[in-house]
């Protein structure tokens, strides 16, 4: 009787484990497309990918939760050089950094036309510099994805890296351009002080005034 009970328990445990393994295996999904396609799918998933070519190999992990994502890419060139590229997109900024630069960059999503009401990923041209040269972000990639419980720490940029605010730099450049235009207009106005029409015309031409 005791032996029969033991066998029955083993059968129950075996069936339970088999069911769990099948469930775990069935949770993994294959996704073919670009990183942008993966983001637009709107799923809360952790995905991995790997790729090998003549110039080297790359692998990566991607964490997605709503409008937030993290992309960690590790690449090895044919000559043996290792490269890391990391990108975090939160609700306000896109952060990028790598192992070949001491500083990282950040840019407001609003500067990339990522509408908060109708989420759309920026174009490949706008995002290209944010990702490793070893990973073509327009390229169709085979991702292996599994559901995950979001860990918000994944979307926090590292505190030991200084991030240059590209949005602020663009604003500063715009202000400088505006100031330059104002200065040019002031200089053009000085041409009105020229004694003759010919000299005034030469002054305007030299300053590029309309």
Residues 93 and 107: their CA atoms lie apart, in Å, by: 5
The domain locations on the chain are 27-160, 171-207
Q: Is 108 exposed, middle or buried (0-12, 13-18, 19+ CB in 10 A)?
A: middle
Look at residue 119 in the predicted model and tell me its pLDDT.
44
Name the β-bridge partners of 61: 48, 72
Look at residue 8 in the predicted model and tell me its pLDDT.
36
Look at residue 3 in the predicted model and tell me its pLDDT.
43
> Which of 37, 63, 31 has the alpha carbon at shortest distance from 124?
37
pLDDT in tens, 87-123: 999 888 889 999 888 889 998 887 765 444 444 444 4
Helix axes 197-207, 166-190, angle to 10 degrees: 170
CB 127 within 8 A of CB 112: yes
Look at residue 180 in the predicted model and tell me its pLDDT.
65
CA angle in degrees (0–180, nearest 5) for 67-68-74: 135
Give the count of beta carbons closer than 10 Å to the beta carbon of residue 98: 18
Which stretches of the chain drop beneath a pLDDT of 50?
Answer: 1-23, 25-26, 114-137
For 101-159, what is the HEC assignment?
A: CCEEEEEEHHHHCCCCCCCCCCCHHHHHHHCCCCCCCCCCEEEEEEECCCCHHHHCCCC
Look at residue 123 in the predicted model and tell me its pLDDT.
44
Residues 190 and 153: their CA atoms lie apart, in Å, by: 59
Most distant CA pair in the chain: distance in Å? 122
> Which of 207, 205, 201 has the alpha carbon at shortest distance from 180?
207
> Which of 73, 26, 83, 24 has the alpha carbon at shortest distance from 49?
73
């Amino acid at each position: 009787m005791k032996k029969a009970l033991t066998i029955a328990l083993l059968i129950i445990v075996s069936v339970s484990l088999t069911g769990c393994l099948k469930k775990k295996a069935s949770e993994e999904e294959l996704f073919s497309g670009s990183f942008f396609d993966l983001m637009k799918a709107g799923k809360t998933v952790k995905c991995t990918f790997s790729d090998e070519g003549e110039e080297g190999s790359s692998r990566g992990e991607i964490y997605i939760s709503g409008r937030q994502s993290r992309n960690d890419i590790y690449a090895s060139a044919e000559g043996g050089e290792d490269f890391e590229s990391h990108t975090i997109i939160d609700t306000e900024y896109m952060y990028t950094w790598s192992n070949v630069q001491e500083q990282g960059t950040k840019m407001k999503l609003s500067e990339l036309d990522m509408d908060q009401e109708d989420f759309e990923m920026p174009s490949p041209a706008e995002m290209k510099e944010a990702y490793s040269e070893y990973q073509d972000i327009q390229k169709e990639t085979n991702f292996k994805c599994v559901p995950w419980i979001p860990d918000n720490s994944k979307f926090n940029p590292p505190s030991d890296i200084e991030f240059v605010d590209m949005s602020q730099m663009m604003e500063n450049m715009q202000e400088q351009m505006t100031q330059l235009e104002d200065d040019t207009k002031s200089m053009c106005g000085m041409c009105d002080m020229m004694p003759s029409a010919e000299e005034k015309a030469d002054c305007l031409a030299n300053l590029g005034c309309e």
